Structure 1
Amino acid sequence: MKDSDCQYRFSKEYLHAIKALEEALILKNYSNHTKKTYIHMFNMFLKFVYPKPLYKIGNSIITNYHINLIQKQHRSVSYQNQSINAIKFYLETVVKHPKSYYDLKRPKKVASLPKVLSLDEVAKILNTTHNIKHKAILSIIYGAGLRISECVHLKVADIDSAQMRIIVRQGKGKKDRYSLLSKKLLSLLRSYYKIYTPEQWLFEGPKGTPYSVSSIRKIFYRSKHKAGIIKPATVHTLRHSFATHLLESGVNLRYIQQLLGHSSSKTTEIYTHVSTSHLNSITSPLDLL
């Protein structure tokens, strides 16, 4: 483990704690991403408290650690919350401490709106992506509103051309759902399939494993640069754009929630603040003078 490759790698107590955390995460059936995140965050915390015995670690030390994350390391709110979650999980699930022992005040997340690309900007990105595999990947993320992790875990059998839908299996929250399969996307996927003939995973890496997330990010940034788009955007922006463009075309928010796989409608409602179509129909009072 890279994070344990430091002084406390020689501490049997610390190594046992990491192992116990990992086993508890497996038993609770947490996703691989969450397991890696929690173990990393717990490792960072252990580096901070080394060589103090774990039984001597109380609320004040945990609080000091998170003050250090904010003031000295300038970590994001998201990072702080993930760290708190990892430590809380260890204390509650592994060592069975009562909640009062680790009840920490969580930092408030800044209420920022998701970044969105216009239809024209999405078209430019896709049109500058000439490799058919790369274009199919970006097109399916935008056209079906997928998370990048959902895209890489799509199987050939998940493309249901008879019902014109895509089956997203075990998305966030371990839930299956259906999303849209557009005619343009189906045509593109068929052309891609004839050239690459994937066997299991729809987008395979060199050894038949799922295509890597980092490769998709590189594809997006390269195409975004070639398209001359300078506004901040990531692969996930394609998903935000999918939702916003559906809303602007008149699709009911409830349907968008189902397509995105949101458990709460409040998560989907943020796109009502991003959409500007309703604003364009409003006349400024200045124009009435």
Structure 2
Amino acid sequence: MKWEAKIITHKKEKRIAVYFEKDIDLIARIKKLDGSRWSQSLVAWHLPDTEENRARFNLASHIHSLPSVEGIEQIVKFKQWMRSKRYSESTVTSYSEALKSFLVFYRKKPVAEITNEDVIIYNNEYILKNNLSASYQNQITNSIKLFFQTIRDTKMMVDRIHRPKRAKVLPNVLSKEEIKLILNAHSNIKHKMMLSLIYSCGLRCGELLALQPVHIDSKRNLILLKNAKGKKDRIAPLSPKILKMLREYYIVYKPCNYLFEGQIKGQPYDARSLQLILKQALKKVRITKPATLHWLRHSFATHLLESGTDLRYIQELLGHSSSKTTEIYTHVSTKSIQQIKSPFDDL
């Protein structure tokens, strides 16, 4: 099996691209690796640029990309601490990789000597100089703050670590007409069912794929979302229309472990394949907006708000810890805005 791996910069992020002729076994193996993604533009699979992945694909390690011996030891301890606190494995990976970037920058400085001023220098000399995004900077800040909370001997004042100013980006919302077109685009009942359930219950992609048949309470018209974001269980109402669709879907597919399974029986459906289903639906109905599955969740919340549902109930349905997160939907709801008469009309 011939393949080639090389370190690239993709969307302002260091990644390892793997090029090979189509091979089902190799694709299945790469899919199992944390952070693996397919890129249509690169025509390659790509993964996070970690020492582990470099070793996996026989790429030479560069000593300048490693923290000091102390830094490596601290990252191991940090991972152990996060796991003992029951952080998800994806959070453990993203936080430890983010911290590694910071400790590589200060590999010649003892961890106990790192100060708040060093964070500012790092932001200017590394983040800004390499044109890295504010969201990446925010992730680094989160990992630094959490890490220094676990360190006893430190000069760092955790509560004074500053983060980048957050851009006030409004959630993307589709109209009810567009949603209807998208949900009716597929004739395949499984594809239609997955997209419909995300919109009708305001689910995150991961929440949908983690659903099991036992989580559907047909007697009470409820769906139980186990271990949702932040390890919080919650319930969502099931509309009679969705329940009818679910019964039809169940008769055809007879799912085993998960409500939506992939080609391998008992295994959950692949998130990338689900994104592709949405892209195909958009293409079929000629909607050119770059909609993602999360747009369906945003649309669910906004349409509820426009129909008069109390913001506190929407917060509960979406599983938001803070009402401030839910309040952003008031800025995209058009119900009140559309009633405002422009002074231009009176000219």
TM-score (norm 2): 0.76
2:293 corresponds to 1:235: yes
Residue 272 of structure 2 aligns with which residue?
214
Q: What do residues 18-70 of structure 1 show as CA deviations (whole Å, max 9, x unaligned)?
A: 22111111111112332221022123334434465545544444322222454
Paired AA for residue 140 in structure 2: S
Equivalent of 2:246, from 180, 189, 208? 189
Structure 1 Cα separation of the partners of residues 229 and 313 of structure 2: 17
By how many angstroms is 1:10 displaced?
A: 9.3
Answer yes or no: is the 8 Å Cα contact 2:98–2:139 preserved in 1: yes
Residue 200 of structure 2 aligns with which residue?
143
Paired AA for residue 207 in structure 2: E
Q: What do residues 185-238 of structure 1 show as CA deviations (whole Å, max 9, x unaligned)?
A: 212222222222112211123342322222222222222232211223211111
Answer yes or no: is the 8 Å Cα contact 1:69–1:80 preserved in 2: no
Q: Mapping of 1:162-173 within 5 angstroms?
A: 162-173=219-230
Structure 2 Cα separation of the partners of residues 27 and 224 of structure 1: 43
Residue 118 of structure 1 aligns with which residue?
175
Paired AA for residue 271 in structure 2: V
Answer yes or no: is the 8 Å Cα contact 1:58–1:101 preserved in 2: no
Equivalent of 2:329, from 271, 275, 278? 271
In the alignment, structure 1 segments of 5+ residues that lack a partner are none
Structure 1 Cα separation of the partners of residues 238 and 188 of structure 2: 20
In terms of fraction of residues, the more helix-rich structure is 1
2:53 corresponds to 1:3: no
Structure 2 Cα separation of the partners of residues 196 and 154 of structure 1: 15
Structure 2 Cα separation of the partners of residues 179 and 146 of structure 1: 9
Paired AA for residue 257 in structure 1: Q
Q: What do residues 56-92 of structure 1 show as CA deviations (whole Å, max 9, x unaligned)?
A: 5444443222224542332222211111111222222
Residue 258 of structure 1 aligns with which residue?
316
Paired AA for residue 111 in structure 1: K
Change in Cα spacing, 1:69 to 1:146, as seen in structure 2 (3 Å) is: farther
State the number of aligned residues. 289
Structure 1 Cα separation of the partners of residues 119 and 244 of structure 2: 54
Residue 79 of structure 1 aligns with which residue?
136
Equivalent of 1:108, from 155, 160, 165? 165
Answer yes or no: is the 8 Å Cα contact 2:67–2:107 preserved in 1: no
Q: CA RMSD in A?
A: 2.4
Change in Cα spacing, 1:30 to 1:109, as seen in structure 2 (3 Å) is: same
TM-score (norm 1): 0.89
In the alignment, structure 2 segments of 5+ residues that lack a partner are 1-47, 55-60
Change in Cα spacing, 1:52 to 1:264, as seen in structure 2 (3 Å) is: closer
Moved more, 119-128 or 234-243: 119-128
Q: Mapping of 1:34-49 within 5 angstroms?
A: 34-49=91-106
2:179 corresponds to 1:132: no
Residue 223 of structure 1 aligns with which residue?
281
Change in Cα spacing, 1:186 to 1:69, as seen in structure 2 (3 Å) is: farther
Change in Cα spacing, 1:140 to 1:16, as seen in structure 2 (3 Å) is: same
Answer yes or no: is the 8 Å Cα contact 1:144–1:181 preserved in 2: yes
Structure 1 Cα separation of the partners of residues 317 and 232 of structure 2: 12
Q: What do residues 138-158 of structure 1 show as CA deviations (whole Å, max 9, x unaligned)?
A: 111111001112111111111
Structure 1 Cα separation of the partners of residues 127 and 186 of structure 2: 40
2:150 corresponds to 1:93: yes
2:329 corresponds to 1:282: no
Structure 1 Cα separation of the partners of residues 187 and 102 of structure 2: 45
Structure 2 Cα separation of the partners of residues 259 and 229 of structure 1: 28
SS in 2 for 1:176: strand
In terms of fraction of residues, the more strand-rich structure is 2
Answer yes or no: is the 8 Å Cα contact 1:117–1:237 preserved in 2: yes
Moved more, 153-162 or 51-60: 51-60
Change in Cα spacing, 1:68 to 1:234, as seen in structure 2 (3 Å) is: farther
